[in-house]
Structure 1
Amino acid sequence: MSVQLNHTIIHSLDNREAAAFLADVLGLEVGTEWGPFVPVGTANGVTLDFATVPAGSLTVQHYAFLVSEEEFDVSFGKIRAAGIPYFADPRMKRPGEINHNDGGRGVYFLDPSGHGMEIITRPYGYQEPAAG
């Protein structure tokens, strides 16, 4: 059997708000709530299951999403239109910028619970195939 990530639980201050926020930015669908979870599925079959936890027990995490150039344009447009602060770096030292790491584009922003979200158009370490 090949091992694949199937789902992960993302703790949030409000599971519905967090799921709706990410789904909107990325152009995804919010699934049917089941138990304490509000799921958002990705194109590669991984489900992000948002669960509400008390504020004091939330550990901030980082989530990066690989998107196409066109999807980046749409998502970044939504981030800017909503007035969401964005940064070119994970330490948030370069506000109002995007990066061009590995020949692509990337941007960092926070979700409503404070998780660091990132969209990138090239995976880390990406190198263009040699012409030939």
Structure 2
Amino acid sequence: MIQVDHIGIAARNAESSARRLAEILGGPPPIVDGADDDMYRLDLAHGTFVLFNPAEKIDLSHVAFRVDQERFDAIVTRLRTLGVPFGNRHDDTNNGRSDDVELGGAGRVYFLDENGHLFEVTC
């Protein structure tokens, strides 16, 4: 068996980045983590989590989340409410569309965080 335990993401401001992603995904607030309490953990399902760690140099990441239709619709609503640009194409993250023609109309959105990381949510 192979299972993802966690994903580490570099951030200029780990707390702010973790809180913003939690807000968009509709998840619980992040938890302080790390030996120096300088990291922030965003818990997901099945024991997996995203760990934001402080860094001056940011290597850009692409992280995709799969959610059910109800959560997807709520995320799109939150993106709109928060004024976060999003789009249904990785190369056009601000076209405001959330359908995915390649997947037969299933939902897909991409958005960038404050560090330039590309997040994707699909259902």
Regarding TM over 0.5, the answer is yes
What's the % identity of the aligned pairs?
27
CA distance 1:6–1:80, change in 2 (3 Å): same
Q: 1:38, 1:50 within 8 Å by CA — same for their partners in 2?
A: yes
SS of residue in 1 equivalent to 2:71? helix
1:1-132 → structure 2 map (5 Å cutoff): 2-35=1-34, 36-54=38-56, 57-92=57-92, 95-100=95-100, 101-103=102-104, 104-121=106-123
Cα deviation per residue 1:14-71 (whole Å; 9 max; x = unaligned)? 10011001111111123431233200011132111101101xx101111111011000
- Number of matched residues? 118
The CA distance in 1 between the partners of 2:17 and 2:112, in whole Å, is 11
- Aligned position for 1:129: none
More deviation in 30-39 or 4-13?
30-39
| Residues 93 and 85 (structure 1), Cα distance of their counterparts in 2 relative to 1, 3 Å cut | closer
- TM-score (structure 1 length as normaliser): 0.82
Which amino acid in the other structure matches residue 118 of structure 1?
E
Are the equivalent residues in 2 in contact too, given 1:19–1:39 (CA < 8 A)?
Answer: yes
Q: Distance in 1 between matches of 2:50 and 2:19?
A: 12
Q: Return structure 1 stretches of 4+ with deviation > 3 angstroms.
A: none
Q: Distance in 2 between matches of 1:65 and 1:31?
A: 17
Distance 1:37 1:93, change over 3 A: closer
Q: How does the TM-score come out when normalised to structure 2?
A: 0.88
C-alpha RMSD over aligned residues: 1.5
Contact 1:89–1:99 under 8 Å retained in 2: no
Compared CA separation, residues 4 and 94, structure 1 to 2 (3 A)? same
- The one-letter code of the counterpart of 1:97 is R
Unaligned 5+ segments in structure 1 are: 122-132
